Amino acid sequence: MASIVLAVDQGTTGTTVLAVDRRLGVRAKVNLELPQHFPRPGWVEHDLEEIWTSTVKALGKALRQAGARTGEVAAIGITNQRETTALWERRRGRPVHRAVVWQDRRTSDDCARLEAAGHEAMVRRKTGLVLDPYFSGTKIAWLLTHVKGLRERAERGELCFGTIDSFLAWRLTGGAAHVTDVSNASRTLLMDLSTLAWDPELLSLFGVPPALLPRICGSSEAVGTTRGVPGLPDGIPVAGIAGDQQAALFGQACFAPGDAKCTYGTGAFILQNTGPRPVPSQNGLLTTVAWRVGAETHYALEGSAFIAGAAVQWLRDGLGVIRRAGEVEALARSVKDSGGVVFVPALAGLGAPHWRPTARGLIAGIDRGTTAAHLARATLEGIAFQVHELAEAMRADSGVAIPTFRVDGGATQNGLLMQFQADLLGVPVERPRMVETTALGAAFLAGLGTGFWSSRDAIQKAFRVDRRFKPRMAAEEREAHLARWKRAVQLA
C-alpha cells in the first residue's frame, strides 16, 4: 500500500529529496551538493547529467532512509530552480549544451537592445515580467544563435527545451512526458498570463521555434509515470510540478489572497498570493502564476533578490573569511553592529525593484577599524535590506500590508539575520518548524494530484511555527539604517 510521497527539490547548489508520509511526517531528507560551472565572468552553467545523477542518487538514498519499499511510493513531485534553461535531444534525451542558469548574465546586451527597440511594454503586459537576462527567453535565443547547428535542429523538431522541471519529468518518464507546469512557464518570457498558453508574438520576438516547447500542464496532475529510472520501479505517477518559489508558497499554506512568504536560499524571493487575477506591478515587481490546481489558478506578486545565501558562500569561498557557512552568525555576533559598513550584494546584478543587470557588489563605510566580523554582519544586513525593499514595493502594489512575515530556506536558521529582518520590516517574522517548505510544497501538490491527500486541510493543520522574531528596533535607528542602505545602493 502506498505510504509516502517523494519530492525532488532540484536547486541551484544542490538536489534535495523528501519522503513525506500521510500524516505529513518527514520520513527522510537527503541533500546532495551540485557543482556550478563558471566558464566566463557573469556566466553560470549546470551540467544536466550531473543534475540527473544527483537526483537518482538522492531518490535512492531517501527510499533507504525512509525504510520504504519501492511499492510504497504514491507519487513523485518536482520543484526546481526556475528560469535555468536546458536543451536536449528529443530522440535520445542527451543534452546538447550545459544548462544556462538563472543567475547567468550573458544576455544583458540582448535585453538592452530589445528594450531600446520598444518591446518592454508589450513583454510586461503579456508576461508580467521585465526584459532581463534572468528569464529563459533570451537564454534560449542565445543558445540557438551561438551554438552551431542548434537552430536548424530546433526548427526540425529534433530538440526539446525545458526548465529543470521539464528535464526531470522527461527523464523520470523515459521521454514520455515533455511538460512544464504553468508556474514555470510563466518565468520564460514566452507565456501569456491571461491565456496560460505559449504566445506566438513572444515566440517570434525571441526567435523560439514552437517545436521546442513543452506542453503546459497544471501544478497538481499526473503527467506520466516512471520508466527506466535506476532504483525505482516503473509506474510511479509524476504528479506535482511547481517552480521552487511557488512550491514554497504552497508549502507555507499561503492559500488565501494576501498571504505571503519569503524564501532565503541562493537568492531571496518574496511571493504574495493575489488570488485568481494577475495584479500588474507599478513598483518593479513581477506578476507570475502561483499554481493551477484543477480548474483553479492563483497568481502572485514576486520580488527577487538574486543574492542572499550566495553572499555567505562568497565570504567562504571567495574571501576565505569563514570556513563553513554556519560560522557567519557567530562571527557577526562578535561585534555589536556593522561599524558603519554597508554591503550591497549585487554580485549578479540587482533584481527587483531596480532591475539593473550591470550593477556590481559594493562595500561602503570601511575604515581602519573594520574587521572581518563587521563585514560578516554587513553581509547579513545586506540580505535583509534587499528583502525590506521588496516588501515595501509589494505593499505599494497590492495595497495590503503583510501582518506577519512567513520565512523558509536554509538561511532562516540564522537568528541574527531573522531578528534584523523583523526590525527592518517592523512586523513579526515567523519561521516554521519545517523550513524545507519548497520540497514540502511539491510533495503536497503531488499528493493532491493522486488523491494521497484529499484536500488542503491537512496542510493547513500541519503548519507549525518554530520561532517568532518580534521587532524591537526603535524607529529612529531603523530609519538611519535604511538611509545608509539607500545611499549605498545608488552607487552599486
103-136 confidence digits (pLDDT tens): 899 999 999 999 999 999 999 999 999 998 989 9
31 close to 58: Cβ distance less than 8 angstroms: yes
Bridge partners for 440 per DSSP: none
Mean local confidence (pLDDT), 174-184:
96
Q: DSSP strand E in 130-218: where?
A: 159-162, 179-181, 191-192, 197-198, 215-217
Query: Which amino acid, one-letter code, is at 179?
Result: V
Bridge partners for 197 per DSSP: 192
75 close to 446: Cβ distance less than 8 angstroms: yes
User: Which pLDDT value is given to residue 471?
Assistant: 94
Please enumerate, as own/partner, the contacts of 151-158 that have beta carbons within 8 Å and a separation of 24 or more: 151/207, 151/209, 153/96, 154/87, 154/209, 154/211, 154/212, 155/209, 155/211, 156/211, 157/90, 157/211, 158/89, 158/90, 158/91
User: Which pLDDT value is given to residue 192?
Assistant: 96
Residue 140 has pLDDT above 90, yes or no: yes
Residue 371 has pLDDT above 90, yes or no: yes
User: Which pLDDT value is given to residue 1?
Assistant: 67
- Rounded CA-CA distance 96/81 in Å is 20
Set of cell numbers at residue 372:
572581518
Q: DSSP strand E in 244-312: where?
A: 260-264, 268-275, 286-293, 296-305
Residue 331: C-alpha distances to residues 208, 323, 415 (Å): 49, 11, 13
Mean local confidence (pLDDT), 51-57:
96
- Rounded CA-CA distance 50/37 in Å is 11
Q: Which helix (H) or strand (E) holds 339?
A: none
- Rounded CA-CA distance 348/305 in Å is 10
- Supply the pTM of this predicted model: 0.86
| CB-count exposure of residue 227 (10 Å: 0-12, 13-18, 19+) | middle
- Rounded CA-CA distance 210/333 in Å is 53
Residues with Cβ < 8 Å from 354, sequence gap 6 or more?
A: 284, 489
Return the closest-CA partner of residue 459 out of 20, 18, 3.
Answer: 20
Q: Tell me which fold the domain 4-244 belongs to.
A: Nucleotidyltransferase; domain 5 (3.30.420)
Share of the chain above pLDDT 70, in %: 99
Mean local confidence (pLDDT), 193-215:
96
Banded pLDDT at 468 (limits 50, 70, 90): very high
Phi, psi (degrees; rounded to nearest 5) at 143 = -60, -45
| CB-count exposure of residue 405 (10 Å: 0-12, 13-18, 19+) | buried
Residue 358 has pLDDT above 90, yes or no: no
Mean local confidence (pLDDT), 233-258:
92
User: Cα dihedral angle (229, 232, 233, 238), rounded to 10 degrees?
Assistant: -80
Query: Which amino acid, one-letter code, is at 117?
Result: A
The string of DSSP letters for 99-140 reads EEPTT--TTHHHHHHHHHTT-HHHHHHHHS--S-TTSHHHHH
Set of cell numbers at residue 337:
553592529
As a whole number of angstroms, the longest Cα–Cα distance in the chain is: 66
Banded pLDDT at 407 (limits 50, 70, 90): very high
Residue 8: C-alpha distances to residues 29, 107, 109, 164 (Å): 10, 29, 34, 11
Mean local confidence (pLDDT), 279-287:
90
User: Cα dihedral angle (111, 114, 120, 123), rounded to 10 degrees?
Assistant: -90
User: Which pLDDT value is given to residue 359?
Assistant: 87
433 close to 466: Cβ distance less than 8 angstroms: yes
Share of the chain above pLDDT 90, in %: 68
3-state secondary structure of 20: strand
Banded pLDDT at 218 (limits 50, 70, 90): very high
- Rounded CA-CA distance 407/419 in Å is 12
- Rounded CA-CA distance 213/203 in Å is 10
Phi, psi (degrees; rounded to nearest 5) at 403 = -70, -40
Q: DSSP strand E in 306-390: where?
A: 342-344, 362-364
Length of the chain: 492
Query: Which amino acid, one-letter code, is at 485?
Result: W
234 close to 227: Cβ distance less than 8 angstroms: yes
